[in-house]
Amino acid sequence: MGRSPCCDKSHTNKGTWTREEDQRLIAYIKAHGEGCWRQIPKAAGLLRCGKSCRLRWINYLRPDLKRGNFTNEEDNFIIKLHSLLGNKWSLIAARLPGRTDNEIKNYWNSHLRRKLLSRGIDPLTHKPINTDTDKGEKFMDGFGCKIEKNPVEKSLTELNLELRIGPPNQHPPLPLERKEKKVCFYCSLGLENSKYCTCGSSSNSTNDF
């Protein structure tokens, strides 16, 4: 079951408030305080709904409202609160006397977001945006200044990890004197110094191994 409407919409004025309506609302709240917004329109003699009276008072008529542009101190304070609270405008407005949640929200969307982006800061995360403008060797800090990468990190990016496959190294042939001496058939049987031994012969024999 939904919440019941604050008033009969068919018997209320809509659109821009008149100066007379503003004066009636101001006079009533000064005399009786804010109280229940559902009852204020009828008590103040206004053909407005309670929600319309509340928004008119909070955003335009209350005497502690600040007029004019936001100061640099307010800008920095809003940015700091937004990094902690996010888009909770009513909580931010509660910490900025004289400013309304709707006013702060509009100011954030129209001005402060662009201000952070121009500094290289993401307005959602409030962290520096990596621009990668100089072949990945530089990035932007929170104030728009370029910072060199860490030398170790830079050297790792320049490391060539390409692998190549080549033929195995060929060892030079052994000297002739290191080659094994041929043994004839008779010496292999243990019959050294046989008259048939051909090991000492420089000619190749059919019995050699």
**Rounded Cα–Cα distance for residues 34 and 50 (Å):** 11
Mean pLDDT, residues 118-129:
92
Residues contacting 11, CB < 8 A, separation 6+: 47
Q: Taking a C-beta distance cutoff of 8 angstroms, is the pair 54, 37 a contact?
A: yes
CA distance to 157, 182, 193, per residue, from 198 (Å) = 69, 10, 9
Residue 180's pLDDT is: 55
Res. 190: pLDDT tops 80: no
Q: Where in the chain is the domain with CATH 1.10.10.60?
A: 9-61, 72-118
Q: Which of 63, 66, 57 is nearest to 17 (CA)?
A: 57
Q: Is the dihedral of CA 92, 94, 99, 103 positive or negative?
A: positive
Distances (CA, A) of 117 to 37, 95, 109, 121, 170: 40, 24, 12, 5, 63
Tell me the two tokens of residue 36: 């229940």
User: Residues 6 or more apart from 140 whose CB is under 8 A from it?
Assistant: 120, 128, 129, 130, 131, 146, 147
Select the CATH number that applies to the domain covering 72-118 from these four: 2.70.70.10, 1.20.1280.290, 3.60.60.10, 1.10.10.60.
1.10.10.60
CB of 46 closer than 8 Å to CB of 21: yes
Q: Which of 31-40, 105-114, 124-133 is predicted with the least confidence, judged by mean pLDDT?
A: 124-133
pLDDT at 130: 78
pLDDT of residue 2: 55
Sequence-distant (≥ 6) Cβ neighbours of residue 97 within 8 angstroms: 64, 66
Q: What's the CA gap between 104 and 99, in Å, rounded? A: 7
pLDDT at res. 68: 86
- What digits encode the pLDDT tens for the residues 27-81? 999 999 988 999 999 999 999 999 999 999 988 999 988 888 999 999 999 999 9
Residue 193 has pLDDT above 50, yes or no: yes
Q: What is the mean pLDDT of residues 179-186?
A: 62
What's the pLDDT tens digit per position in 130-175?
755 444 444 455 555 555 545 545 554 555 556 566 555 555 554 5
**Which homologous superfamily does the CATH classification assign to the domain defined by 9-61?**
Homeodomain-like (1.10.10.60)
